[in-house]
Amino acid sequence: MEPKLFIATKALVVNNGKVLILRESGFYQDGMNAGRFDVPGGRLQPGERFDQALRREVLEETGLNVEILKPIAVNEWRPVVRGESWHIVGVFFECSTDSSAVRTGPDHDAHLWIDPIEHQKYGIIDNLKPVFVEYIKIANIK
């Protein structure tokens, strides 16, 4: 059986040099990474513009309004969700916000603002690790 194909838009939300990560809760219906950290974002709805989807997902998951700055990386992952094979292509963007007041929804139970260089100290999901490496290189963070 062919996997379901989804396009996702993901945000490295930056405020004062720190990047926002969210911990997935056990209540996330499509989740496979409870207790691990990811960045805000999600799947596009049919007909939705990429930038609108990114702003919508970040607002839904964090309560933050963001400015989309630049693309960082493209990645893909192939989870099995509720017994169904999925193929997700994710496009990651650097975004900025002028607020650090995060309001998580039911899909996430915690958030942290981290120094991107220290991303390996946190339980981030595997497909996010190369994105942080690329972001550090592109943003020339030392």
Q: What is the pLDDT of residues 89-134, one digit of tens each?
A: 999 999 999 999 999 988 889 999 999 999 999 999 998 999 999 9
Residues facing residue 68 across a β-bridge: 95
Domain of residue 11, CATH code = 3.90.79.10
Distance CA 39, CA 129 (A): 11
Mean pLDDT of the chain: 93
pLDDT band at 79 (very low <50, low <70, confident <90, very high): confident
Q: How many domains does the chain have?
A: 1
pLDDT at 3 over 80: yes
The pTM of the whole model exceeds 0.85 = yes
**First and final CA of the chain: distance in angstroms?**
45
DSSP 134: H
CB 102 within 8 A of CB 21: no
Task: State which residues form the domain around 44.
Answer: 4-138
What pLDDT, on the 0 to 100 scale, is given for residue 142?
Answer: 82
